[in-house]
């Protein structure tokens, strides 16, 4: 999915180039209408008098195989792009297997807001879903959290925060049954030092405090990985341009002696790249990853 060019350290990426690449990337993403066949609540606000982006979509599995469990999905987009609607085709995979699905929208970075604000939005959404679970027809004790790319960062960080009251951004009541991340951004503290990005670009996607190393470290899932002791699923693939992030996460979990379900798809197919299982779930390799996600959640129930 997002931008193999980010691997290229030979040329510096600027904001205009990145905007062009992101626009081209999302222009070709598949749209889903099948989710409309399921009972749903679209655009449910999770903060009072909030922004248009501070909403969730809720889809309910059919009664014939409903598991009374929910997977909450946080989309990616390099912190500056993406929409919850783009992940509806991914949601279908789990709806068909009996899981309710929630797609979270959040306000994106805009040189004023930054990743800490995205985390706060997502934390508010997760707490809203937990507090209002009965009214919404969801089981708060059987909630899983997933995210892809930048969304994987947000999901893992908030899962860590659910067990660590010292973290600067965390949920108040939400407790996931497990967290599943696909091709996640992980070692966020190093992004401000990346030589492949111009200073303008760093400010654009990291926010105005992109030079503050301690601040970036405080928002990094790697800083707090020891806080999370729950169930963890991780996927990546050969053509994931940030595969190294997943390998760091796997290595850290191994060093901590933490169990982790790790799927590393070996493929030279160009379609099987960054978050392929989210963007193109019909691919055989994507089906393998998503079947493993379903097996992981069923095992946790």
pLDDT band for position 20 (cuts 50, 70, 90): low
* Alpha helices (runs of H) in the chain, residue ranges in sequence order: 15-27, 88-96, 115-131, 133-136, 150-161, 199-206, 213-218, 243-256, 276-279, 284-300
The tens digit of pLDDT for each residue in 68-106 reads 999 999 999 989 989 999 999 999 999 999 999 999 999
Residue 126: exposure state from Cβ atoms within 10 A (0-12, 13-18, ≥19)? buried
**Mean pLDDT of the region 161-173:** 97
Domains along the sequence of the chain with CATH: 4-300 (3.40.50.1820)
Per DSSP, what are the bridge partners of residue 144? 71, 178
pLDDT at 199 over 90: no
Any idea which of 17-21, 105-109, 273-277 has the lowest mean pLDDT?
A: 17-21
User: How does DSSP classify residue 111?
Assistant: S
The tens digit of pLDDT for each residue in 235-284 reads 999 999 999 999 999 999 999 999 999 999 999 998 999 999 999 999 99
Contact assessment for residue 146 and residue 73, using Cβ atoms and an 8 Å cutoff: yes
DSSP code per residue over 166-219 = TSSS--SS---SEEEEES----GGGGGG-TTB-HHHHHHHH-TTTT-HHHHHHT
pLDDT for the residue numbered 112: 87
Handedness of CA 200, 206, 210, 213 (dihedral sign): negative
pLDDT at 4 over 70: no
pLDDT for the residue numbered 247: 98
Residue found under tokens 């939400």: 174
Cβ neighbours, 10 Å, residue 189 = 18
User: Is the whole-model pTM more than 0.85?
Assistant: yes
Per DSSP, what are the bridge partners of residue 58? 41, 102
The tens digit of pLDDT for each residue in 124-140 reads 999 999 999 999 999 99
């Amino acid at each position: 999915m997002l931008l193999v060019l980010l691997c290229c350290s030979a040329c510096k990426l600027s904001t205009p180039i990145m905007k062009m690449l992101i626009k081209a990337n999302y222009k070709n993403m598949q749209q889903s209408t099948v989710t409309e066949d399921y009972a749903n609540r679209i655009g449910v606000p999770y903060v009072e008098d909030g922004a248009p982006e501070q909403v969730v979509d809720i889809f309910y599995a059919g009664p014939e195989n409903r598991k009374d469990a929910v997977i909450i999905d946080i989309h990616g987009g390099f912190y500056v792009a993406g929409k919850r609607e783009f992940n509806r085709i991914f949601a279908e995979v789990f709806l068909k297997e009996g899981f309710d699905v929630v797609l979270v929208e959040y306000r994106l970075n805009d040189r004023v807001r930054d990743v800490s604000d995205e985390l706060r939005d997502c934390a508010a959404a997760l707490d809203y879903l937990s507090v209002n679970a009965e009214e919404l027809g969801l089981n708060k004790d059987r909630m899983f959290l997933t995210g892809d790319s930048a969304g994987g960062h947000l999901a893992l960080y908030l899962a860590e925060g659910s067990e660590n009251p010292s973290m600067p951004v965390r949920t108040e009541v939400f407790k996931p049954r497990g967290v599943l991340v696909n091709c996640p951004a992980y070692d966020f503290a190093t992004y401000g030092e990346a030589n492949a990005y111009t200073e303008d670009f760093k400010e654009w996607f990291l926010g105005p405090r992109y030079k503050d190393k301690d601040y970036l470290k405080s928002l990094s899932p790697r800083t707090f990985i020891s806080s999370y002791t729950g169930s963890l699923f991780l996927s990546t693939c050969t053509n994931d341009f940030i595969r190294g992030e997943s390998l760091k996460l796997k290595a850290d979990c191994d060093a901590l002696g933490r169990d982790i379900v790790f799927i590393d798809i070996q493929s030279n197919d160009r379609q099987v790249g960054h978050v392929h299982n989210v963007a193109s779930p019909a691919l055989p390799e994507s089906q393998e990853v998503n079947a493993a996600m379903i097996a992981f959640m069923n095992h946790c129930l």
